A and B are shown apart, each in its own frame.
Chain A
Amino acid sequence: MSVLVRVDDRLVHGQVVVGWGRALTLRQLVLVDDAIAASDWEQDLYRMGVPGDMSIEFASVDVARERFTEWDRADDHGMVLVSDVDTLAQLCAVAPVQRVNLGGIHQGPDRTQRLAYVYLSDAEAQELRALADRGIAITAQDVPTTRPVPLREVLG
């Protein structure tokens, strides 16, 4: 199974390292974000949230283009994190992403609530629809113990 790409504006936090980390026996996190990849102090901040039995790699979208196939081979024991739908779309444009988890996209400009933990603007909804039309499997699920909600249900 291909590596799971999670969209979560909190990036490295409890649901990821504890909830998903234990359920999937995660050993490797990859945070794809151009700004964080260029900021040492932000990387230090995110490293603080990574348990000792997990490692984390920081990458720009450009680097992700080169590295994604390697992350994909690590499959069940890795997770790729992006903070928003725009970054997801950029990643999907340069890498063979197959599975996407919408884990936390919260209130923001022009966004309306779709689930308790998913708010989307019309433009973001359209971007996700376009990715799904390309064959990418997209579901919303904040923690592994809740039901995965198919994108069509999220968008209504």
Chain B
Amino acid sequence: MSDELRGVVVSHADLASALVEAVERITGRQDGLVAVSNTGCGRELLEQRVAEAVGDAPAVVFVDLPSGSCLQASAHYLQTHEDVAVVAGVNLAMLIDFLYHRDVTPREAAERAAETAARAVRVLTR
């Protein structure tokens, strides 16, 4: 649906495309998520790639680390785009959940993603 949020996953190396592929394998859905790698990019070029991936629709940008070039480029983009939210610390659980909850605002989706990710981290011991 065109009025649903788009998710853009921004990462070092090939992590973003691997996460998007994993979401597709699990859900069978190929819509809603776009992968962006920082390979070969300075901040400006990476910001340009993020902008192209977001397009002109409201979006959530999922970044791999809470610091570094991926976050810097995404945060820069956020400064001039009100219909975007950025969430750092992407994991598979938050992406899968996001795919089914995209009829909210970018901020609401980002906050939900952070809560989903936190709940997905478990410690198992013998």
- Report which A residues bind B (CB closer than 8 A): 9-14, 41, 45-46, 48-50, 83, 104-108
- Distance between A155 CB and nearest chain B CB, rounded to angstroms: 19
Mind listing 28 A-B residue pairs with CB under 8 Å? A9-B43, A10-B43, A10-B72, A11-B43, A12-B67, A13-B67, A13-B68, A13-B69, A14-B12, A14-B65, A45-B72, A46-B72, A48-B66, A48-B67, A48-B71, A49-B71, A49-B72, A104-B42, A105-B42, A106-B40, A106-B42, A106-B45, A107-B40, A107-B41, A107-B42, A107-B45, A108-B44, A108-B45
A104 vs B68: C-alpha distance when bound (angstroms): 13
A144 vs B99: C-alpha distance when bound (angstroms): 40
Which of chain A's residues has its CB closest to B68's CB?
A13
Within 8 A of A (CB), among B8-66: 12, 40-45, 65-66
Give the most central of A14, A105, A106: most B CB within 10 Å.
A106
Q: Give the number of A-B contacts (CB < 8 Å).
A: 47
- Distance between A20 CB and nearest chain B CB, rounded to angstroms: 14
Given contacts A10-B68, A13-B68, contact A45 B44 (CB under 8 A): no
Within 8 A of A (CB), among B63-100: 65-69, 71-72, 75, 79
Which of B42, B72, B75 is close to A108, meaning CB atoms less than 8 Å apart?
B42
A13 vs B66: C-alpha distance when bound (angstroms): 11
A27 vs B41: C-alpha distance when bound (angstroms): 27
Which of chain A's residues has its CB closest to B38's CB?
A10
Top 10 A-B pairs ranked by shortest CB distance? Answer: A49-B67, A9-B42, A106-B42, A10-B69, A13-B68, A48-B67, A13-B69, A14-B68, A45-B75, A106-B41
